[in-house]
Structure 1
Amino acid sequence: MSAPTEEIRTAEARPAPPPPGAGDRKSLRRATHVFRPRRVLPATIVAIVLAVVAGLVALEVIGGLFGSPPGLLPVERLSALGRETRWNDSLPFAVCGLAVLLGLLLVFLALKPGRPRAVVLASADPQVVMGIESAGMSRHLARAAESVPGVSSAQVAVSARRVRVVASSSLRDTVGLDEQVRTAVSERVDELAPMAGRPNVRVTVRRRQD
Structure 2
Amino acid sequence: MTGLTLTQEDTNPPEGGPVGAHQAKRDKAADRAAMRAFRPSRRAPAVVVAVLLTLLGLLVAVETVSALVGSPLRLVPYDRMLGWASSTLWSNPLFVLASVIVALIGLALLITALVPGRPRMMPVRSHDPDVIIGLRPKSVTRALAHAAEEVPGVHSARATLRGGTVAVTPSTSGWDKERFTHEVREAVLTRLAGLDLVEPYRVTVDVKERK
TM over 0.5: yes
2:51 is equivalent to residue 48 of structure 1: yes
- Percent identity over the alignment? 34
Check 1:16–1:45 CA distance in 2 against 1; reply closer, same or farther (3 A cut): closer
Q: Aligned residue for 1:30?
A: 33
Q: Aligned residue for 1:6?
A: 2
Q: Secondary structure at the match of 2:171?
A: strand
Q: Aligned residue for 2:185?
A: 182
Residue 150 of structure 1: CA displacement? Answer: 1.7
Residue 137 of structure 1: CA displacement? Answer: 1.5
- Asked if 2 retains the 8 angstrom alpha-carbon contact of 1:37 and 1:113, the reply is no
- Asked if 1 retains the 8 angstrom alpha-carbon contact of 2:30 and 2:126, the reply is no
Q: Aligned residue for 1:115?
A: 117
Tell me, which stretches of 5 or more residues in structure 2 are unaligned? 16-22, 91-101
- Asked if 2 retains the 8 angstrom alpha-carbon contact of 1:19 and 1:190, the reply is no
Q: One-letter code of the match for 2:185?
A: R
**Residue 147 of structure 2 is aligned with which of 141, 144, 149?**
144
Residue 15 of structure 1: CA displacement? Answer: 4.0
**Residue 73 of structure 2 is aligned with which of 57, 70, 75?**
70
Residue 142 of structure 1: CA displacement? Answer: 0.9
Q: Aligned residue for 2:168?
A: 165
Residue 11 of structure 1: CA displacement? Answer: 4.7
Calculate the TM-score normalised by the size of structure 1.
Answer: 0.68
Check 1:159–1:131 CA distance in 2 against 1; reply closer, same or farther (3 A cut): farther
**Residue 16 of structure 1 is aligned with which of 11, 14, 25?**
11
Q: Secondary structure at the match of 1:176?
A: helix
Residue 104 of structure 1: CA displacement? Answer: 9.4
Q: Secondary structure at the match of 2:51?
A: helix
CA distance in 1, matches of 2:146, 2:49: 43
Q: Matched residue pairs, number?
A: 194
Which structure has the highest helix share of the two? Answer: 2
Check 1:108–1:22 CA distance in 2 against 1; reply closer, same or farther (3 A cut): farther
**Residue 124 of structure 1 is aligned with which of 124, 127, 147?**
127
Q: One-letter code of the match for 1:6?
A: T
Residue 72 of structure 1: CA displacement? Answer: 0.5
Q: Secondary structure at the match of 2:2?
A: strand
Residue 141 of structure 1: CA displacement? Answer: 0.7
Check 1:50–1:32 CA distance in 2 against 1; reply closer, same or farther (3 A cut): same
Tell me, which stretches of 5 or more residues in structure 1 are unaligned? 91-98
Q: Secondary structure at the match of 1:120?
A: strand
Q: Aligned residue for 1:204?
A: 206
CA distance in 2, matches of 1:64, 1:51: 20
Calculate the TM-score normalised by the size of structure 2.
Answer: 0.68
Instruction: Say what the alpha-carbon RMSD is for the aligned residues.
Output: 4.0
Check 1:128–1:159 CA distance in 2 against 1; reply closer, same or farther (3 A cut): farther
Q: Secondary structure at the match of 1:51?
A: helix
Q: Aligned residue for 1:94?
A: none
